[in-house]
Amino acid sequence: MSAKPQSQYCRDAQKGMGSPRLQASLHSLQNRFGKGAMTLWAEMDDQDMRRRVKQSRMKNLDHLDILLAELAKKVRARGGHVHFAENAQDAIDYTLEVARKNEVKRVVKGKSMLSMEIAIDSALQEAGMEVVETDLGEYIIQLADDKPSHIIAPCIHMDRSRIGELFTEKLGINYTDDPPSLTAAARKALREKLLSADMGLTGCNLACAATGHISLVSNEGNIRMATTMPPVHVALMGMERIVATLDEHRETVQLLTRGAALQKLSTYVSFVGGPSTSDDPDGPKEFHLVIIDNGRSKILADPEFREVLACIRCGACLNICPVYGRIGGHAYNSPYCGPIGAVITPLLDGINKHADLCKGETLCGACKDICPVQIDLPRMLAGLRQKLAYGSDRWNTKQHNPLEAYAFTLWRQVVSWSPLYRTGLKIARLCQRPFVGKNSMIKRMAGLASGWTDGRDLPPIAKKTFTEIWQKKHATAEVKLPMATKEDNNA
């Protein structure tokens, strides 16, 4: 199509759109889970629950310092360790130190996007450890040396024949594409890893300040094993993932599992609050909770974007977004893809760096409608574009496209003064003449506008604009009384 130089985002988007396998998966994903969630919200008995949970999420963000201190106090009182990590490196260093002290050779992981955000796997591997994902989807991604393309269903871009080939190659089984057989093969391989691991490394879906626990949801049981079998458990927690009370916890988890997988509750919800004790012998000898900032307090401090920290990472917005539904997750080039990724990635990792994520949506609003906690992602996307439009010291962002900014300055003059606007239209109408084709449409335009005409026709400016028609017909009367104009307008 167009010969313009393309960004990585556009290239990856096209790759996604060109893959029939991915298109089929995305289609069935959105059909099932996107539509399913919308139906679920519409039919839920408690129609106030989403608003209530959102309100509690926002309230808890206001009191984050107090809640986190409470959580830490309770975990420590049970003999657990709590470390507040300001950034990725700090979290990695702490975890490495724990691993070194415990002579860890094998780490089993529970699914954690935060672990990807801070890129801890490669740090552990470089320190000589084996790192094994135990969530089936993440395990497949790891075996394939690939990247996740959905925050809940990481290998949505792979079909079972591809997974069959992968297992044949990596696990040495006879080729099959039968899902139960593939699951059984993974299970067997993972059991061995889980039984012999020295450290479990997980994320944290939610933490509860009142009880001093973190909780993890899963459907495969891998989390329970990874958090109880190895002698050491390190949990990585984004500092915003906290609720005040168990009541809030119950409702928030219910929205999380509904949004993520249309489940009233996931198969497993694991609560972890410290190491094993003599009267509660199941669990690790050591428990470490690493509470990670890594750019979150900066978001917290900006009222315009604070709301994004209310996200519970259910992934529902991916399941409805028409852009994600075409391009898939890889184009976002981030652990967080889809609409939530388009907002959180630039905020965490640089607005200029991820300008395409800020601009690459239609602001249709479907993500806001489906979000269990009604996060206004389109509002924040527009906010991010504002930083790109004018630059922002606070966000260390420079003006993204000075030419575009200049164009809008001109536009502003034109739309603020109608004689200029009208003259401009007349000139444009003259200029367009050579471009109007046989079907009375414009087929080809140059420069930026070719973005439209590469794939679409454009109606030309009308021979008479509405304003001109009006002026001709109604110039005499200020207000048109009905009927007086009827025959004029049946033309």
Partner 1 sequence: MSEKTVSLFIQCLVDTMFPETGEAMITVFDRLGVAYDYPPGQTCCGQPAFNSGYSRDAAAAAKHFIDIFEDTEIIVCPSGSCVRMVRHHYPELFADDQAMHSRALAIGAKTFEFTQYLVDELGINDVGAHFPDTVTYHDSCHLSRSLGIADQPRTLLNNVRGLELIEMRDSDTCCGFGGTFSVNYPEISVAMVDEKIDNILATKASTVTGCDISCLMNILGRIKRRGEDVQVLHIAQILAADKGEKR
Residues 464-483 that bind partner 1 (CB under 8 A): 464-467, 469-470, 474, 478-483
Among 372, 378, 383, 387, contact with ligand SF4 (rule: CB under 6 A): 372
Q: Which stretch binds ligand SF4 (CB under 6 A): 27-35, 210-218, 242-250, 369-377?
A: 369-377
Q: DSSP string covering 325-357, please?
A: HHH-SGGG-SSS-HHHHHHHHHHHH-TTTTHHH
| Near partner 1 in 393-422, by CB under 8 A | 404-405, 408-409, 411-412, 414-418, 421
| Near partner 1 in 274-333, by CB under 8 A | 322-323, 326-327
- Look at strands 130-133 and 213-218 and give their pairing: unpaired
Among 17, 210, 246, 436, contact with partner 1 (rule: CB under 8 A): 17
User: Is 452 a residue that touches partner 1 (CB under 8 A)?
Assistant: yes
Cβ distance to partner 1 smaller for residue 309 or 388: 388
Q: Pick from partner 1, ligand SF4, none: which does 42 bind, CB < 5 to 8 A by kind?
A: none
User: Is 195 a residue that touches partner 1 (CB under 8 A)?
Assistant: no
Cβ distance to ligand SF4 smaller for residue 273 or 315: 315
Cβ distance to partner 1 smaller for residue 229 or 441: 441
Which 3 state secondary structure label does DSSP give 106? strand
- Smallest separation, CB 258 to ligand SF4 (Å): 10
The CA distance from 38 to 181, in Å, is 33
Among 13, 67, 214, 377, contact with partner 1 (rule: CB under 8 A): 13
- Smallest separation, CB 232 to partner 1 (Å): 45
Burial class (CB in 10 A: 0-12, 13-18, 19+), 109: buried
User: Is 173 a residue that touches partner 1 (CB under 8 A)?
Assistant: no
Cβ distance to ligand SF4 smaller for residue 121 or 240: 240
Q: Which residue has the tokens 């601009």?
A: 359
- Smallest separation, CB 420 to partner 1 (Å): 9
Cβ distance to partner 1 smaller for residue 268 or 421: 421
| Rounded-to-10 torsion of CA 480, 482, 486, 488 | 0
Taking the CB of residue 240, how many other CB atoms lie within 10 A of it? 24
Cβ distance to partner 1 smaller for residue 77 or 449: 449
Among 22, 53, 366, 371, contact with partner 1 (rule: CB under 8 A): 366
The CA distance from 170 to 180, in Å, is 18
The CA distance from 115 to 199, in Å, is 14
Taking the CB of residue 85, how many other CB atoms lie within 10 A of it? 21
Sequence-ordered list of residues with C-beta below 8 angstroms from that of 64, at least 6 positions apart, any chain: 239, 240, 242, 300
The CA distance from 129 to 37, in Å, is 40
Sequence-ordered list of residues with C-beta below 8 angstroms from that of 227, at least 6 positions apart, any chain: 110, 200, 202, 216, 233, 235, 270, 272, 283, 284
Q: Pick from ligand SF4, partner 1, none: which does 387 bind, CB < 5 to 8 A by kind?
A: partner 1
Cβ distance to ligand SF4 smaller for residue 74 or 241: 241
| Near ligand SF4 in 324-363, by CB under 6 A | 340
The CA distance from 484 to 473, in Å, is 11
Q: DSSP string covering 145-205, please?
A: T---SSSSSTTTT--HHHHHHHHHHHH-PPP---HHHHHHHHHHHHHHHHHH-SEEEE--S
DSSP tag of 459: P
CB 331 within 8 A of CB 16: yes
Size of interface with ligand SF4, in residues (CB under 6 A): 14
Q: Which stretch binds ligand SF4 (CB under 6 A): 66-74, 307-315, 326-334, 398-406?
A: 307-315
Angle at 142 between CA 310 and CA 179, to 5 degrees: 95
| Near ligand SF4 in 212-231, by CB under 6 A | none
Q: Which stretch binds ligand SF4 (CB under 6 A): 183-191, 295-303, 312-320, 468-476?
A: 312-320
Among 371, 380, 388, 442, contact with ligand SF4 (rule: CB under 6 A): 371
Q: Which stretch binds ligand SF4 (CB under 6 A): 58-66, 158-166, 370-378, 418-426?
A: 370-378
Among 96, 210, 364, 436, contact with partner 1 (rule: CB under 8 A): 364
Which 3 state secondary structure label does DSSP give 214? strand
Among 40, 136, 299, 312, contact with ligand SF4 (rule: CB under 6 A): 312
